[in-house]
Amino acid sequence: MTAGTIAVGDVRAARFRLRLRRIRDFGARLLRRQDGLVGIGILLVFAVLAIAPDLFVGRLQTAVSAEGGRFEAPSAAYLFGTDRIGRDILNLTVHGTRISMLIGLLSTVVTVLLGTVIGIVSGFVGGVLDNVLMRISDFFLVLPTFVLALILAPILLDIFGTSAEVAGMRMTLIVIVVVIGITSWASTARIVRSQTLSLRERAFVDRARVVGAGPTWIMARHILPNVVNLIVANAVLTFAGAVLTETTLSFIGLGDPFQPSWGQLLNQAQSDGAPGLGAWWVILPPGAAIVLVVLAFTLLGSAMDDILNPKLRGRR
Amino acid sequence: MHVPLRARAARVAMSALLAVGALLPAAVPAVAQEETTLRVGTTQDLDSMNPFQTALVVGFEAFALNYELLVAFDQKLGPAPGYAESWTANSAGTEYTFKIPAGKKWSDGKPATAEDARWTFQLVLDALNSEAGSLCLGYIDPDVKNAAVESVSAPDAQTLVVKLSRKSDRILQTYVPILPKHIWESKDATTICDDKFDPPIVGSGPFQAQEWQTGQNVRFEANPNWTQSKLAPTEVILTFFETEDTMAQALRNNELDYAQGVLSDQFNQLKGQPNIATTAGEANGFTELGFNTYGTGTGKTIAGGGPSTKALLDPLFRDAVGYAIDKPLLVERVLGGYGVPGTTQVPPVQTRWHKEPATVREFNIDTAKQKLDAAGYRLDGQNRRLDKEGKPIVLDLVFPDSDSTYPTSAEFIKEWWGQLGIAINPSQYDSDTLIDLMLPPEAGDYKADYDLFIWGWGGSADPNALLEIFTCDQIGNSSDSLWCNEEYDRLFEEQNIAPTYEERKALMDQAQDLMYTEAPYHILYYDAALHAWRTDKFTGWANQPENGTPLFGYGPWGYLQLRLVGDEPTPGPSAPGAASPGASAPPGNGGQSTGSSNNTLLIVGGLGLLALVVVAGAVLVRRRSVRTEEE
Amino acid sequence: MGSRYLGRRIVQALVTILMIVLLNFVLFRMMPGSPERAITRNPSISADTKAALRAKWGLDKPVFPDQFASYVVATFQGDFGLSFKYRGQPVTEVLGSRIWPTVILFGLGEIIAIVIGMGLGAYAGWRRGGVVDYVGNGISLVLYSTPYFVLGMFLLVIFATTLGWFPTFGMLSAGAHYDSFIDQLIDFARHLALPLATVSLGLVGLYSILMRSSIIETLAEDYVQTARAKGLRDGHILRAHALPNAMLPAVTIVAIQIGYVIAGAITAEVVFNWPGIGTLTVDALSSRDYPVLQGIFLLLAVSVVIANLLADLVYGLLDPRVRA
């Protein structure tokens, strides 16, 4: 009995070391690639900005705390100029980082979670359930998800109600997260399912079954760890898509004026008439930030995909 | 013979460059503009050509061009000849006789007589007397009701007699378009609502809509039978813009002659431009911060809704917090200086009716604090203001997403009231959801679940509508403060039937004072109407009223003042038949309609697209055949 | 291609369309809002009028089965109901006038993007690691990461506001009279230039990336290696072997991407006031014109399903391996 415990502990420790080494190995390979390095570099900068925006530009400026003039061009006082109500664009863009990235992150978590669970269950259980789930995912794959998102947002706002906040995020933003999750899980589910299908037939799953492990246990302990590679690369690409979708939804007017994301800033620029006034400084910083972040995630995602899933290259 | 890929790519690039080059203005003559077309832009999108089915200013503008009112509005909004050229009242002031000019014609050439006017008024009366009690959307009929019209008759083709149930002169400002009976005879007060009024329109106004491209524009042509004055524009194009920004740029680029409602920063930019004139007119409306006072005067409450604290029902509370709103600062920061700090519900543009309160609340946080303390709303240990039940006051402030100034104002109010210890949760909704949220149980299954709101109202020629929204009867309809005050209701009813201006004005003054004191609304400001127009094609731009704007006023007055640049000014109405509109149209106008050629263009575009697809397909197929040959 | 495969795909597509029709009904019954709301802020409207309005839109009957049955019947008859905002104009009419501008803008945009994007991608992949590959791929990646409206707003600031080369809104100059059809076409082209550039550039990145990876993959295939071993000229191998095979997956993806392109369509049209389906969507959304939104959703969803079906069929036709 004592011996057994030690053995299990040893095995665990060994596994942990192995995993650690793999991660370190993976990180080293990622950093050796140009695209991986650039992607990580850009994301690090934005991550720092997102975590502590106050440190760099002070608190989020409001109409009340704004001190600049209307649509001031960039100057020494305001590096990126000011908007219609005199707010510092630099301040707004840096604070927008946190909101855009947070929505992106949460949306990705929701999407990947939904996609992974549905994918694994569908692939592992099979049969009628698989058929139904896959028809549903087919359905979501062909739907014009963006238009669906536009329609879902007011419905969800109606259901969730009004000015509530969840963990400091306003309901409007939570609704965007849910909408992105609902409309974009299908492709993750597809990828995870096909991997699950091949894993299901493998010997170690059979062994687990013979030992008497339940389906939930097998899915969680045997299938999930083996699809993590797929999920991670997929998640990074999903993140890029989520940031794009959030930006577009906010631009159309589903954002929140009190917690401005980059898309919301561009929406305000548009409705304040910045393009016609030639106020390019209101558009450039949030626009460039979006491009950089999406680019970084795309680079990183494809680099990770290349490293983690060499066989799948180019088959997306 | 194989062309190397690189060479082919280069050729594609070359032709692409050439194509782009051809689009540059240097390479093309400027688009030929019709020299007598008046191009008017607005950010509203016409909802209906049917005068009884439009809820928008642009819809009223459209029907004011199509049709005439019985009595028009002059520059000072006084009565002027419209469909009727003159009128007399009996000595009691209870019967009006209107004279319709002989020889008057509809735009289709049919005679326009008193019978048409009688038919139109009868249609409205029928609607008022029906079970529904209103005509279609219900924006036109209140004028007839408030004018106390009892019956209309047309003893002969030139005479219309209107009998009133009491002495009133408001028949002279009924905003009712006179429709041609020969077109609409078969419709009644119900079925006319379902008619789309498809152009071309037959009317007696100066311009008639010829085609309407939904969401894009309406094209009007001058009425060939318009004899009242010389029409400088032969054509009016009303274009609907998605944003003020593109509209302002279109004006600057000479793609537009008139822009209704640009933003303050664009307005400043346009002011300096050559050939552009601007006016910051006073809008007949306001933006308010309103309270949910549900239960005032009735004591009713709503389970799971209504105001979150009884403090909102207390006039002393509403008065006190009114001192913590810096209205001049809002005008400066939110409106860019274009607007006037607000007081009462009748805007100052209504110079005949507006009443400035004797004492205006001056912004002073300390005064607000003292008044709150005095009224029994004290601070707790954490600097939170408590209501009389001992609960911290936390207010939900709601506003629609239709205007980017609302969230900005909300931020300021949140800051100021925060200094009083009153917390505010602002949130933005689309207008329809907001209406649902704000409606009380009187309107159905609703809960009026809000505390404060920022929104605006626009008025019509008569201030009645802006007064009516505070009456008890409107709870469940247009009342959004849900305020109910018997004294106010009495004043409203009495001013509505007051026989003379002086009497009505005295009652209306009291009603305005009462609203200001009781403060179900704090009127934040009267927005300015920022209009801009080009001066290089038309002259004669004049505001109606004088503190208003040239177009989008009351009826077609502004359009009738226009003259072509370089044309001799010809003031005053000319003799019937003397002026023929279109006489000033330059030769070379093939009369080609924009709409039909639009379709041709689309068809050709579609064909071009098809051709490209075929070519692309052919290339693909050729490649494929190459492969099969060689494999 | 087996007729069984064909039949199965068509049945699948029909089932999907049926599901879309059902979803459409459910979604729009859940949406907050109704036609009488347009008039609620009117002081003098009676309850009777409101009731009459509800009856006109069929909202007075129970949701199930009455409303549902009439919805299904009407939809399959091509009747999408009446617009709230335009006071009872048929939705088909409202949609009809907006379809062509979108088809032209995105049709041309797709074609330009396919030609330039695929050309660039093919060349970059062919000369992998070369200067064109680095620069071209870099540009493609940046374009791919740029939302249409960001691109559009920049083009607008540079070419319309600052340089004044192009008009800023709409499809034709309002109130212009043209001496000839050519003049009108030029006016149209000037209005089209910036939106078209936005759409094309937005798509070029995507297609170039797709084509590049497709070419690289194809070049690794045995028959290309064989051709090389046989000593065939490079250009010949590219044109005769690599390109046709690489085109196949890329073209298919073009069809599949249509759903995503729609999101871009909406924002690009909004930036330039292009009177198409995109601006109509945003207008309908902001005025809560549900019947119109419902019509748009159905139209777009069905188009995407059909595009996907066609892509599948074409793929099956061209690639003998896909026969199940």
pLDDT digits (tens, 9 = 90+) for A137-158: 888 887 777 888 888 887 887 7
The verdict on a CB contact (< 8 Å) between A266 and C149 is: yes
- Rounded to two decimals, the ipTM of the complex is 0.83
Assess whether pLDDT exceeds 50 at residue B555: yes
The verdict on a CB contact (< 8 Å) between B28 and C318 is: no
The angle formed by the CA atoms of residues C246, B615 and C204, to the nearest 5 degrees, is 50
Assess whether pLDDT exceeds 90 at residue B517: yes
Which residues of chain C neighbour A309 with C-beta distances below 8 Å? Answer: none
The pLDDT tens digits for B298-356 are: 888 888 888 999 999 999 999 999 999 999 999 998 898 999 999 999 999 888 899 99
The verdict on a CB contact (< 8 Å) between A144 and C12 is: no
Characterise C279 by phi-psi region: left (phi > 0), alpha (psi -120 to 50), beta (else): alpha
- Å between A94 CA and nearest CA of chain B: 20
Element (H, E) at A127: helix A127-142
pLDDT confidence bin for B579, thresholds 50/70/90 = very low
**C241 vs C320, which has greater pLDDT?**
C241
Which residues of chain B neighbour A84 with C-beta distances below 8 Å? Answer: 265, 404
Assess whether pLDDT exceeds 60 at residue A180: yes
The pLDDT tens digits for C158-192 are: 888 888 788 777 777 766 667 777 888 888 888 88
The verdict on a CB contact (< 8 Å) between B468 and C43 is: yes
Question: Which pLDDT score, from 0 to 100, does residue B327 have?
Answer: 95
b/e per residue A227-243 (b: at least 16 CB within 10 A): bebbbbbbbbbbbbbbb
The verdict on a CB contact (< 8 Å) between B213 and C97 is: yes
Mean pLDDT of the B133-139 span? 84
Residues B363/B392, Cβ–Cβ less than 8 Å: no
* Chain C: partners with 3+ C-beta pairs within 8 Å: A, B
SS3 state of residue B378:
coil
Question: Which pLDDT score, from 0 to 100, does residue A161 have?
Answer: 63
Distance between CA atoms of residues A138 and B314, nearest Å: 58
The verdict on a CB contact (< 8 Å) between B33 and C179 is: no
Question: Which pLDDT score, from 0 to 100, does residue C62 have?
Answer: 73
> Closest chain C residue to B33 measured between Cα atoms?
C176
The pLDDT tens digits for A202-222 are: 878 788 888 888 888 888 888
* Chain B: partners with 3+ C-beta pairs within 8 Å: A, C
The pLDDT tens digits for C251-298 are: 677 776 776 777 777 888 888 888 888 889 888 887 778 888 888 888
Question: Which pLDDT score, from 0 to 100, does residue B569 have?
Answer: 54
Least confident interval from A308-312, B144-148, C169-173: A308-312
Residues of chain A that touch chain B, judged by Cβ-Cβ distance less than 8 Å: 62-64, 70-71, 84-86, 154, 157-158, 162-163, 170-172, 253, 256-258, 268, 270-277
Mention every residue, 6+ apart, whose C-beta is less than 8 A from residue B592.
Answer: C177, C178
Distance between CA atoms of residues B599 and C174, nearest Å: 15
Nearest to A281 by CA among A95, A83, A84, A87: A83
- Å between A315 CA and nearest CA of chain B: 22
Distance between CA atoms of residues B156 and A257, nearest Å: 62
| One-character DSSP codes across B125-188 | HHHHHSSS-S-TTSSSHHHHHHTTEEEEEEEETTEEEEEESS--SGGGG---BPPPHHHHTT--
The pLDDT tens digits for A223-274 are: 888 888 788 878 888 888 888 888 988 898 888 888 889 999 999 888 888 8
The angle formed by the CA atoms of residues A307, A312 and A316, to the nearest 5 degrees, is 110
Which residues of chain B neighbour A257 with C-beta distances below 8 Å? Answer: 404, 407, 428
DSSP C44: T
CA distances to A172, A214, B148, B159, B460 from B128, rounded to whole Å, are 43, 74, 11, 23, 19
The verdict on a CB contact (< 8 Å) between A64 and B412 is: yes
The verdict on a CB contact (< 8 Å) between B245 and A154 is: no
Residues B511/B273, Cβ–Cβ less than 8 Å: no
Distance between CA atoms of residues B592 and B570, nearest Å: 29
- Å between A98 CA and nearest CA of chain C: 19
The verdict on a CB contact (< 8 Å) between A244 and C147 is: yes
Cis peptide leading into residue B348 (ω within 30°): no
Distance between CA atoms of residues B327 and A256, nearest Å: 25
| One-character DSSP codes across B39-96 | EEEESS----SSTTS--SHHHHHHHHHHS-BSEEE-TTS-EEESSSSEEEE-TTS-EE
Beta strands in B441-573 (DSSP E): 452-458, 521-534, 538-539, 563-564
Count the neighbouring beta carbons within 10 Å of the beta carbon of residue A294. Answer: 24
The verdict on a CB contact (< 8 Å) between A270 and B243 is: yes
Residues A43/A296, Cβ–Cβ less than 8 Å: yes
Residues B413/B289, Cβ–Cβ less than 8 Å: yes
pLDDT confidence bin for B470, thresholds 50/70/90 = very high
The verdict on a CB contact (< 8 Å) between C186 and B28 is: yes
Assess whether pLDDT exceeds 90 at residue B40: yes
- Å between B249 CA and nearest CA of chain A: 6
Least confident interval from A95-104, B572-581, C120-129, C213-222: B572-581
pLDDT confidence bin for B117, thresholds 50/70/90 = very high
Assess whether pLDDT exceeds 80 at residue C238: no
Nearest to A170 by CA among A66, A257, A75: A257
Place of tokens 């140009």: A34
Question: Which pLDDT score, from 0 to 100, does residue C38 have?
Answer: 53
Count the neighbouring beta carbons within 10 Å of the beta carbon of residue B199. Answer: 19
Distance between CA atoms of residues C129 and A12, nearest Å: 44
Place of tokens 């002026």: B579
Cis peptide leading into residue C65 (ω within 30°): yes
Residue in A157, A251, A277 to test binding to C, most C beta-carbons within 10 Å: A251
The answer for B 260-299 residues in CB contact with A (under 8 A) is 263, 265-266, 269
Q: Does B292 touch chain C if contact means CB atoms closer than 8 Å?
A: no
The pLDDT tens digits for B64-81 are: 999 999 999 999 888 999
Residues of chain A that touch chain C, judged by Cβ-Cβ distance less than 8 Å: 135, 138-139, 142-148, 150-152, 154-155, 158, 240, 244-245, 247-248, 251-253, 266, 269-270, 274-278, 280, 283-284, 287, 290-292, 294-295, 298-299, 313-314
- Å between B88 CA and nearest CA of chain A: 51
Distance between CA atoms of residues B44 and B39, nearest Å: 15
In this structure, chain A runs to a length of 316
DSSP B586: P
Say which amino acid occupies A244. Answer: L
Mean pLDDT of the B386-408 span? 90
